[in-house]
Each structure stands twice: as structure tokens, then as C-alpha cells.
Chain A
């Protein structure tokens, strides 16, 4: 191996080590995502529909409680009497209320044991009254949603994601 080849190899090695150390210090490959509440689109399941509500990058030990005020959930072509929200990954739905006309809903769910930084927290199932049912939290209704952390503090800064379920149950 010639001197020039060794210089090139050594330079590449140093460059790699430098990039690696910088990445470790600066977190290049681990970007900090904004806390996000995600409500998926309705998915046909066993004669009815399913909507998954999940979270990502929740701070302060993770999400441990959620309250959606009346009209926080809005839906169309959904039988309100058929709507059932079930907690997942330790969450328990303590209160829920869904109405067919106008299509609206609310709930309170908590996880007594721990917080969830990322994952699915609630499964909503319902039967449709028409084609292409919708079930969502509109951006304008984001203010009707309250989030609490594992350390029982309010999570005030978060974004709302819609359209697809990011996590499997």
C-alpha cells in the first residue's frame, strides 16, 4: 500500500470517527420530534370500522391522561350509539359519550401505572350509517383536547396528526 493510499485511508477513518463523535454529541440521527397526538383514518374491520388514536414523542414520562371535550370528536356517517372507545397499552376509558346527530363525541382516558411516550392509546370502533364514514379531531377542535403526563403535569405543547395510524396495537 502506497503512502498516498495510506493517507487517504487514514483521512477517511478520521473523517468517519469525527462524524460519529459529532453525531453522538449533536444527536444527528436522533432528531427531537414534537409531541404529537395522532388520530388515524377509519379502517374497515369485521363489518364495522376502527380508528386508532396514538401518540409520539410525548414528554415528561409520556402521556398518561387525555380528555376530549364535547365536540372535540366529530364524525359523519357514524352511528353514535355504536361507538365504543377502548383503552390500549394500560389506558382505561373512564368516561365516554358519542352522539349520532350532529356527529360528535367526548371522552376521558387515563393510564394509572405509567406514561406512553409513543404508541397506541385508544381504539374506537363503530358501525357506519353511510359510505365513507369519518371520525376525527379537527385542527380547530384541538383546543378541546387536554393531555396529561406520567408526572401529572399538563402537556401544553403538542401537534395534532391525522390521516393514518402510526402504530400497530
Chain B
């Protein structure tokens, strides 16, 4: 595990906590995370909001680390996400969903419009958004992609290429 960029902080409720520098806010003065309670791991999103990560653990989490895109947790728990765990667990984020241009976890009407806006140049879109919009994986974002998403959301097609 690559531990560079991490620090050990003293959390007033849980004791020593191993966290990425400037990542979670755990133990930092004034920082609170209502989701990070006993048995729960919660990453902070880019926008600054906390959200639960999976269904959590059945006992305390004392250590968090990120390595190669995976989150490792250590503590007293014996189950993690409903799966038996011997006090250590690894969570790998799911691959980005093709067509999920706004990155909210599903492909819907908003994604169809965002992709169409990128096609027309109304918006540029981030590299990640353009990648998600390119549902036919042909290396560009065009009407084929916007149409495919539009058809997908009304079940005219069951999969995206």
C-alpha cells in the first residue's frame, strides 16, 4: 500500500485515524462528518458533501487509506458491505457508466441533453463528460451518441454500445 500523502490524525471520538492529506477532514479542527460514525466509511465528494460508502461495517473503522483507486479500511469490524471481513476491507469504485454524462450514477434525460449540448458545441464538457458521452466508443462525440442516449432512456435500446 502506498502511504505517501497520508497522515495520522487524532479523532476525538475514535482515536488515531490514518487519512489522506486534505482529503476527508477527519480530525481536523472544525471539521465534522455526520456520516462517519461507528461502522461507516464515507468519502467526501468533490463538492464537499459526504455520502455513505456502501452499507458500512458492523463495528468501528479506525484507519482509511486510498491506493490505486481503491479505498482500504481497517478497524474492529467483522463485516463490510454485508460481506465477512477480518477487520480489513477493500472497496473498489464502480467503473463510470457510459452515457452518465453528469456523473450522478444513472443515464437519464439530463445526460441526453448534456451530450446533445456537447455535440452542438453549446457546452464544451469536461474530458470525463466527453468520454461518457462517447457511448459508441469511436473517439468522438456526435449525433450518434446523443441519439443513442436518447433512445436508451426510453428503452428503444436496452444497452449502450
Count residues of chain B with CB under 8 A from any CB of chain A: 19
Q: Find chain B residues with CB under 8 A from A86 CB.
A: none
Q: Find chain A residues with CB under 8 A from B97 CB.
A: none
What residue of chain B has the Cβ atom nearest to residue A65's Cβ?
Answer: B113
A residues 124-169 near B (Cβ < 8 Å) are 146-148, 152-154
Residue in A65, A70, A97 whose CB lies within 8 Å of B112: A65
B residues 111-127 near A (Cβ < 8 Å) are 112-114, 116-117, 120, 122
CB distance from B93 to the nearest CB of A (A): 24
In the complex, the answer to whether B154 meets A67 with C-beta atoms within 8 Å is yes
Residue in B113, B120, B122 whose CB lies within 8 Å of A148: B113
CB distance from A156 to the nearest CB of B (A): 12
Total number of residue pairs linking A and B with CB closer than 8 Å: 68
Interface residues on A, range: 20 to 34
CB distance from A158 to the nearest CB of B (A): 14
In the complex, the answer to whether B110 meets A107 with C-beta atoms within 8 Å is no
Residue in B109, B114, B122 whose CB lies within 8 Å of A108: B109
In the complex, the answer to whether B155 meets A108 with C-beta atoms within 8 Å is no
Q: Find chain A residues with CB under 8 A from B114 CB.
A: 152
**Closest 8 A/B residue pairs (Cβ):** A94-B150, A108-B150, A95-B150, A110-B113, A65-B113, A95-B151, A106-B154, A67-B109
